[in-house]
Structure 1
Amino acid sequence: MTCCSATTNSYLKHTFYPCLPKFPKMVPTYDPNDDEAGLKLLEDLTTNAHHIQQQVLEEILKKNAQTEYLRGFLNGRSDKEIFKEKVPVVNYEDIKAYIERIANGEPSNIISSQPIIELLTSSGTSGGLPKMMPSTAEELDRKTFFYNLLVPVMNKYVDELDKGKGMYLLFIKPEISTPSGLMARPVLTSYYKSSNFRNRPFNRYNVYTSPDETILCPDSKQSMYCQLLCGLVQRHEVLRVGAVFASAFLRAIKFLEDNWEELCSNIRKGCLSDWITDPGCRTSVSSILGKPYPELSELIECECRGKSWEGIIRKLWPKTKYIEVIVTGSMAQYIPTLEFYSGGLPLVSTMYASSECYFGINFKPLSKPSDVSYTILPNMAYFEFIPVEKDHEQVVHNVQCNGNSDQNCTSKGNEEENLETVDLVDVKLGHYYELVVTTFTGLYRYRVGDILMVTGFYNKAPQFRFVHRRNVVLSIDTDKTNEEDLLNAVKNAYTPLKPLGFLLTEYTSFADTSSIPGHYVLFWELKMKDNSDLPELDRNLMEQCCSILEESLDSVYRRCRKKDNSIGPLELRVVKHGAFDALMDFCVSQGSSVNQYKTPRCIKSEEALKILDSRVVGKFFSEKTPFWEPFKIET
C-alpha cells in the first residue's frame, strides 16, 4: 500500500487516536519516494505525540499482558494506569535470564506475544559478554519505516540527491547461532542481511556505490577494499559519503592511505586483485570495474601522492555534498580528524538508535555537530525518562579535568528504589534525563543507559542532545568500557608487579584518537614498597601488563582489537612519583574542592594530559592481540 500526502493525514487520523479500533498499525505505510508525504507524516507524528504514546503503550500491554514477565507484575491486567506502579524500571541484569531462556529454546511468550526471530547483540556488560536484545519481524518493518523517513528530511536541506549516488561504507560483523537456532548478531548486521534491506524501495537515498554483495562479505578486509574500489570508479557520481560511525569512516580513509596504489592498479588494468576471493565480491565488483580506466587511475594517483591528505575527500569525490556519520556522543572525539580530511564538507548525523530500539531523527541535519539534536518519533516505542541531576562540585571537577561539564549526571533518588519517571511530552527544556524504553519486542521499562538533555520541541515531540552513556569512561569504536571494568582490568594487570615490590598508587586513562585506529592509553603511578627509587622498568614485564589489561576487557573491546582492527594496541604510560598530586593541584586551582576531589578515571582536558605526559618515565604497548571468539550462551 502506498499513499500520497493527501491521504496520509486521513490515514493517521484512523491510526493514532484512541477512540478508534484497538491495535492500530503503528507503522504507517506510505510511498518512500514521496517527500511531501514523508514530511507530512513527520508533522503528524510529532503533533500527536501524546496520543500516539498512549496508543503505543496500550497496544504493547494488550498484546503482551499474558507473557510470563508481565503476568508476574500485572496478573494478566493490561491497564496503563497500573503499569508504572507495578512494573519496575530494570537494567539488563534484571532481564538477562529471560532472554537467555529464549536463546536456549524456550518459547518467545516468556516476554513477547510475537515470535522472536533473532537476538541483537549490543555493547558488553560488566561480565564481559554482549547484551542480547529480542527482535521480531515487525521490528524490521519499523526500522525500514524509520530509515525511509530520513529521505525527505535530507532532501529538504540538500538539493538534487537524486542525481547521483552515496558511497556508504557498510559492514557486517560476527554472528552466532544460539542453542534455540535463533541468530545472535549486531543490529546493523541484522538489518543488512534482511530482505528489508535487500529489497529496499528504489529512491535517491538508497542508491549506493557498494553492491550488496560487498556489504555482506564476511571478510572485512575484502569488503573494505571492494567498497572503496567501487566508490573510486564511480567517483563522479558520488554526491555523499559516509559510514554509520565516524570511527568506521576514518578507518576506511586510513585503509585507503595504505592501499591506494593497489586500488589504482586495479582501476588502470580494469581487473580485480587475485586476493579478492569472495565470489560475490568478485562478480559484483568486476561488473562495475568493467574495463581499464588509465586516466581515472592517473587522476587518483595524483591526488593520493600529494604531500598532505588534507581535504582528500573533496579531492577524490569532488561532487560530494556532505559526510554522513554519527559524530555525537563518544564519536565527537573524531570531529577534528574528519574536518582535516573533509575539505570543509558538512558532517551530518541523521539518526539516534540502538540495539534496543530506534529513537529519533535529526530534523536539522546540516547543523554543527555540537548543535545536533534528535527528535524522538513517538510510534517507535513507549518512552519514559528518569530525571537526572548534576552535583555542583563534581561538575566543576569534570569541567577542568574531563573537559566536559555534561559528563557527571546522576539519577535523582535512590538507585534501589522504584525510580519515578516522566513521560515523553512532559520533559522540561534544559533538563537532563536517562532514557527508559518499553518496546514492541519484549523490553519493559528498560534503562538504555543514555543521558540526554532536552534542547527544544518540534511540535509536541521533544528534541534531545545526546550527552553520554551512563558509567562509560572509555570508547573508541563500538566498545564501551565502564569504570568498574577498567578497575578490574587494572587490578589484573598489576598482578605481575606485586611480587617485585611495586605499588600501584594511582591510575587514569584516555582515548587517544590522534592516530587511526585510536587506542586506549593508561597512566600508572608506581612506587616501591620499601620507598626506594623506582628501578628501570623491564619492557617485557610491562608489555605483559599491557596484554593482561586487554585480555581483561570485555568481548566487544577484544573483538574490535582482534577481528575488526578498529582499535589499536593498548598503551601504558608510567609516570614518576607525584604526578597525580600535580594533577590534583591543577584541578583544585581550577575550582575543584579538595574535600570532594577524586582522581578522574578518564581525562579529556588537554591541560591535564600535559601535566601527566610531562612526567612520563616509560611507555609500553601491548605486543599481541587479545584472545577473542564469538560469545557462547550458557545452557
Structure 2
Amino acid sequence: MLPLYDPNDWEAGMKLLEDLTTNAYKVQQQVLEEILTQNVHTEYLRSFLSGHSDKKPFKERVPVVYYEDVKPYIERIANGEPSEIISAQPITELLTSSGTSGGQPKLMPSTAEDLDRKTFFYNLLVPVMNKYVDGLDQGKGMYLLFIKPEIITPSGLMARPVLTSYYKSKNFRNRPLNRFNIYTSPDEAILCPDSKQSMYCQLLCGLVQRDQVLRVGAVFASAFLRAIKFLEDYWRELCSNIRTGRVSDWITEPSCKKAVSLIVSKPNSDLADLIEYECGSKSWEGIIKKLWPRTKYIEVIVTGSMAQYIPTLEFYSGGLPLVSTMYASSECYLGINLKPLSKPSDVSYTLLPNMAYFEFIPVEKNHEESEEIQCSSVSDENCTQETRKARMETVDLVDVKLGHYYELVVTTFTGLYRYRVGDILMVTGFHNNAPQFRFVHRRNVVLSIDTDKTNEEDLLNAVTQAQRLLEPLGFLLTEYTSYADTSSIPGHYVLYWELKMKGNNDLPELDQNKMEQCCSIMEDSLDFVYRRCRKKDKSIGPLEIRVVMPGTFDALMDFCVSQGSSVNQYKTPRCIKSEEAIKILDERVIGRFFSKKIPFWEPFRM
C-alpha cells in the first residue's frame, strides 16, 4: 500500500496525493482487505472472525473498542508472548502516548513496516509546502526536536514515544537531504538524551546559522514557546558562546558537544552583538523575525488544545504564518493539511486513505454519542447483542457528511482493530473524494461537578472570551489548566492562569475587579447545563481563577515528564486530576479571584 516515488520529485508527490484522494473508496477497501488477509489468523481476530476475512463479518463481529479492551493483549506481548496475538508481522517496539490527558501513557504496537509508512507520510508534506512557499531549498529549518529515553519491557521490546522512535530510526538518520530534511540542529543534538543540553545546543546552532534559517518550529506550539522561554533565560550565555566560538563547559554529552563545536567553531563578535541587542530590548514582540529575518513561517501544531497559544505565538512571531502541516497520533499517522497557510482557526486535515482503515462514530454537536450506549468495553457483561451491534454501526471514510461531528476509529497495519482514538472531528469539506476534518477536541477531556460536562473546546472558548478583557491592559495569558474542586459543597471550577506583560517579564499587577469580571465572563461563556447548575440548581459554586507566578507551567511540565510524559510530545493538560500536580500549581498561586455574579440562564425553549 506504499507507492514508490522519488521524494524529491514534488510533481510526482502531488500527483500521488491526487490519486489517493480521488480513489479514496478503492484504497480504503484495499487497506482493509490487506489488513484482514494478513492478520485474520491472529488470536484476537480469530476469536471474532473464525478465519473469515471479508468486510461484512468484520463490521458485524469485531467490536469497536477502547484502550482498556486491547491493553491485556499488548501487555502480554510486552511481557514476552509472541506478536501473533494481534499481528502477523513482528511487533518491533511499543509506542507510548503522551500520557498527559488520561493518566499513564498507553502502549501502541508498531512494526518495522510502520516506520516506512511514517517516512512516506513525511515525504508527502514536501510537495504540499512547495506548492505554497517558494525558495525553501535556499536554506535550512530550525526545528526543536527532542527524544526521551526508552523503557525496556520484560520481552526486550523498547517502549518509547512515537517521535523518539522515528528520530532514532535509520529512516530519519539516513533521510534524503531534500529541503525539508536540512536542519540547523545536527542529529547528535536532537538525539541528546539530556533535554536541557539538547535545547541549549539546538538554539545555539540555530542562532549561529541564523542567516540560513527559512522556517522555525517544533511539534507542538507549547514546545516552541518553552524554547522561547529558555532563550529568555540563556541568551546571554548563548551570546558568550558565539562571541568566543566555544560551547559552554556544562554541555557534556560527548557526541552532541563534538557535533555542535564543529558548527560553533569560530568567534563571531558581530553576531553576538546583534543577538544581544535584539534580546536585550525592552519588549520581545516580533523576536522570531528579528533573530531569524529570513524565516517564512513557524511550523507548530496549533489546533485542538494548542489553539490557546495562538495569541502568544503571534506576539513573538512578527507576523509570520503559523503552519500546522499534519495530524498524527501514537496509533498511526492520519492526515495532511493541504492548505498549510490557512488561518489556524481554518485548519483542516485530509486523511490519507492508505494510512489505515478509517471508521467514524457519529456524535451530536455537543459531542455526545448519537446512540445511548452504556457499555464501555467489550468485556462488559451487561452488554447485550443489540447494544454491541449499535456500537458497531460506524460510518466509512467516504460516507461522512459535511458539517457533522464524528469520533475517529482506526484499524491499523500494526494490530489495532476498530480502535477508538478518542478524537472528535468535524467534516469541513472534501478534497476530491477524501473528506477533510477539523480537529475539535479529545473525547472525555472535561470538567464536571454535577450534570454539567465541559469539554476542552468549550473551556478554550470561555478562556478566550475572558482573556480579551485583559488584552487592552497589555497582559498575555501564556498558559492555563483547570480542575473540578469538589473539596467543598458545592464544588466549583478552578482555572490556573499564568500571565505576563507584553513588554517585559515583570509580574503583572492584578486588578481585583477585572479578574472577577474574567471569572464572570467565563461562566457566561459556558454551556446551558453549567449555567443552570449555577443559577437554578445551585449545585455548582462560583468559578475561581488562580493566577500563578511565571514559570509555574514549566514546573508542571517537569513534573509530568518525571512521571513518564515525553518532552517532545508534551501538551499541557487542560484538566488536572493529579493531587501532586495541583499541589505544584497551588504552591505558586499569587492571586485568587471568584465570580461575583450568577451567570445568565433561562429555561431552554425550542
TM-score (normalised: structure 1): 0.74
Distance change (3 Å), C-alpha of 1:176 and 1:508: same
Q: CA deviation at 1:390?
A: 2.9
- 8 A contact 2:161–2:566 mirrored in 1: no
- Structure 1 gaps of 5+ residues are 1-25, 392-407, 475-479, 495-502, 524-545, 595-635
Distance in 2 of aligned mates of 1:205 and 1:48: 27
SS of residue in 2 equivalent to 1:436: strand
Alignment of 1:15-414 (within 5 A): 26-124=1-99, 128-391=103-366, 408-414=367-373
Distance in 2 of aligned mates of 1:253 and 1:266: 18
1:200-224 CA distance string (max 9 Å, x none): 1110110000000000001000000
Distance in 2 of aligned mates of 1:102 and 1:183: 12
Q: CA deviation at 1:80?
A: 1.2
Task: Report the equivalent of 1:509.
Answer: 494
Task: Report the equivalent of 2:577.
Answer: none
SS of residue in 2 equivalent to 1:124: coil
Task: Report the equivalent of 1:571.
Answer: 586
Q: CA deviation at 1:173?
A: 1.8
Q: CA deviation at 1:481?
A: 14
- 8 A contact 2:300–2:323 mirrored in 1: yes
1:12-54 CA distance string (max 9 Å, x none): xxxxxxxxxxxxxx11111000000000000000000000000
Distance in 2 of aligned mates of 1:424 and 1:432: 13
- 8 A contact 1:333–1:513 mirrored in 2: no
Q: 1:464 aligns with which of 432, 437, 458?
A: 437
SS of residue in 2 equivalent to 1:130: coil
Q: CA deviation at 1:508?
A: 1.1
Distance change (3 Å), C-alpha of 1:184 and 1:252: same
Distance change (3 Å), C-alpha of 1:466 and 1:179: same
Distance in 2 of aligned mates of 1:576 and 1:309: 28
Distance in 1 of aligned mates of 2:198 and 2:306: 23
Distance in 2 of aligned mates of 1:554 and 1:359: 30
Distance in 2 of aligned mates of 1:364 and 1:334: 20
- 8 A contact 1:334–1:513 mirrored in 2: no
1:207-263 CA distance string (max 9 Å, x none): 000000000001000000000000000000000000000000000000001100000
Distance in 2 of aligned mates of 1:576 and 1:505: 18
SS of residue in 2 equivalent to 1:586: coil
Distance change (3 Å), C-alpha of 1:555 and 1:232: closer
Q: 2:599 aligns with which of 562, 586, 591?
A: 586
- 8 A contact 1:472–1:481 mirrored in 2: no
Distance change (3 Å), C-alpha of 1:422 and 1:515: farther
Letter of the structure 2 residue corresponding to residue 174 of structure 1:
P
Distance in 2 of aligned mates of 1:38 and 1:310: 38
1:143-189 CA distance string (max 9 Å, x none): 00000000000010000100000000000123200000001111101
Letter of the structure 2 residue corresponding to residue 512 of structure 1:
W
Q: CA deviation at 1:509?
A: 3.2
Distance change (3 Å), C-alpha of 1:70 and 1:560: closer
Q: CA deviation at 1:575?
A: 10
Distance change (3 Å), C-alpha of 1:425 and 1:556: farther
Percentage of pairs with the same residue: 72
Distance change (3 Å), C-alpha of 1:204 and 1:464: same
Cα RMSD after superposing both structures = 3.5
Q: CA deviation at 1:278?
A: 0.5
Distance change (3 Å), C-alpha of 1:106 and 1:564: closer
Distance change (3 Å), C-alpha of 1:355 and 1:411: farther
Q: CA deviation at 1:268?
A: 0.3
1:561-592 CA distance string (max 9 Å, x none): 99999869413879999x57x56x2142xx67
Letter of the structure 2 residue corresponding to residue 433 of structure 1:
Y
Are residue 436 (structure 1) and residue 449 (structure 2) matched?
A: no
- 8 A contact 1:347–1:366 mirrored in 2: yes
Distance in 2 of aligned mates of 1:195 and 1:77: 37
TM-score (normalised: structure 2): 0.78
1:429-460 CA distance string (max 9 Å, x none): 00000000000000000000000000000000
Distance in 2 of aligned mates of 1:564 and 1:359: 16
- Structure 2 gaps of 5+ residues are 376-386, 448-455, 460-480, 506-514, 520-551, 573-580
